[in-house]
Chains A and B, each alone.
Chain A
Amino acid sequence: GAGVSQTPSNKVTEKGKYVELRCDPISGHTALYWYRQSLGQGPEFLIYFQGTGAADDSGLPNDRFFAVRPEGSVSTLKIQRTERGDSAVYLCASSLRLAVNEQFFGPGTRLTVL
């Protein structure tokens, strides 16, 4: 079956602009995770959802970052007033359910803030 998909694959924006990054998890996976990865580092947790609700948003760096998953499937990560330091690869992962924590990653969105 299809894996996790993310769009766009690349996003270039200017400082101060608003961006939305989309994630479509593996069909049937109830848990969805967002991570951010900078060059030479491992992925860093941002937020995860079980169903429609954010179960843990402790990794969001500040209130410019927000994520939703209104119907329990597709999720959108929203970044307001982007800053150059937001440049990174944003990774989405899904797992079958919280109790089975094998997380499968999508291809990522490379965000560049000029």
Chain B
Amino acid sequence: QKEVEQNSGPLSVPEGAIASLNCTYSDRGSQSFFWYRQYSGKSPELIMSIYSNGDQEDGRFTAQLNKASQYVSLLIRDSQPSDSATYLCAVNIREYGNKLVFGAGTILRVKS
């Protein structure tokens, strides 16, 4: 089992809809969770961080964490074509120190 799993997609949503991206992780020692956006040919850009159970909101983005289910999600409200990118889930596992373990990413396509 991979440490961090994401559906590769592509996930296609119409403009203005809510995009829901999901990520599961295997290690219960995980303590910090991050979502990165990566446009084609570019490097990952940090868009959300979440450290405790519940929701963390920033503008159109909401990160949700459920440690009991080992599940973290990213909701993008009012999706725009400019949101089309690969979204990477990253987890910091306490026993591994400060490195981040990434999922393979989910491709999101927002159609206008």
Contact = CB atoms under 8 A, between A and B. Distances in A.
A48 B99 contact: yes
B102 A107 contact: no
Interface in A9-68: 31, 33, 35, 40-45, 48, 55-56, 58-59
Given A42-B105, A107-B42, A107-B43, A102 B99 contact: no
A107 B39 CA distance: 11
A42 B43 contact: no
B90 A45 contact: no
B98 interface: yes
Nearest to A47: B99
Interface of B is mostly: strand
Contact of A55 (B36, B42, B98): B98
Contacts of B4: 42
B22 interface: no
Contact of A42 (B42, B96, B98, B103): B103
Contacts of B96: 56
Interface string A86-114: 00010100010010011111111000000
B74 interface: no
Interface residues of B, number: 23
Interface stretch (B12-20, B44-52, B62-70, B77-85): B44-52
25 contacts: A31-B98, A33-B98, A40-B104, A42-B4, A42-B103, A42-B104, A44-B102, A45-B100, A45-B101, A48-B97, A48-B98, A48-B99, A56-B97, A56-B99, A58-B99, A59-B99, A91-B44, A95-B98, A101-B32, A101-B92, A103-B34, A103-B100, A105-B36, A105-B45, A107-B43
Identify the 7 closest CB pairs spanning chains A and B, nearest first: A42-B102, A45-B99, A105-B43, A108-B43, A56-B97, A105-B44, A43-B102
